């Protein structure tokens, strides 16, 4: 089996593609995420190689009820927003986000260089995602699709 190239030059994922509805989708314009796990048919966990242009964010600040995440910085110096705290990272820094804590997180690229990181997350069914800074909530449906609502339950 031939190794799969994952260098920055091999990324063909569309810039800014997201499952978020507007007005939130446009906030991720500078993010390029390649779903490597899907390339290999993985179903129990996902692996993403993600690039953030200067000024870009990884996602809205969020926390998962059931799914856990792990990120490893490969290039650049992003800022991790973790609850009310912020940490500037360097290549080699990593963090695991345990499900059910309610502590929201996101990466922001406040630097002048592209940030590249590896993101790993499980695919536990029935996940709910809270976004404390936005009038937004997502719920994973039994078929694996995501439903997006306002916090009061109105759909987008």
Peptide bond into 40 cis (omega under 30): no
Say what the pLDDT of residue 3 is. 56
Say what the pLDDT of residue 8 is. 45
Tokens of 3: 């190794």
Whole-prediction pTM value? Answer: 0.88
Strands of 1-68 (E only): list them: 31-35, 45-52, 63-64
Say what the pLDDT of residue 13 is. 60
**Phi–psi pair at 38, nearest 5 degrees:** -65, -35
20-127, which class in CATH? mainly beta
CA distances for 62 relative to 7, 8, 9, 54, angstroms: 28, 26, 30, 21
Q: Tell me which residues of the chain have a pLDDT lower than 50.
A: 8-11
Say what the pLDDT of residue 17 is. 81
């Amino acid at each position: 089996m031939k190794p799969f190239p994952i260098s920055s030059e091999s990324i063909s994922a569309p810039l800014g593609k997201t499952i978020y509805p507007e007005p939130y989708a446009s906030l991720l314009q500078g993010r390029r995420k390649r779903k490597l796990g899907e390339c290999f048919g993985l179903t129990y966990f996902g692996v993403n190689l993600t690039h953030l242009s200067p000024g870009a964010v990884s996602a809205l600040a969020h926390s998962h009820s059931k799914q856990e995440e792990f990120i490893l910085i490969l290039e650049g110096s992003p800022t991790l927003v973790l609850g009310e705290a912020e940490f500037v990272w360097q290549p080699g820094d990593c963090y695991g986000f345990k499900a059910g804590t309610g502590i929201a997180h996101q990466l922001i690229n406040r630097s002048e260089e592209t940030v590249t990181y590896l993101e790993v997350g499980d695919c536990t069914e029935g996940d709910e995602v809270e976004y404390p800074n936005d009038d937004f909530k997502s719920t994973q449906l039994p078929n694996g699709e995501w439903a997006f609502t306002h916090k009061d339950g109105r759909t987008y």
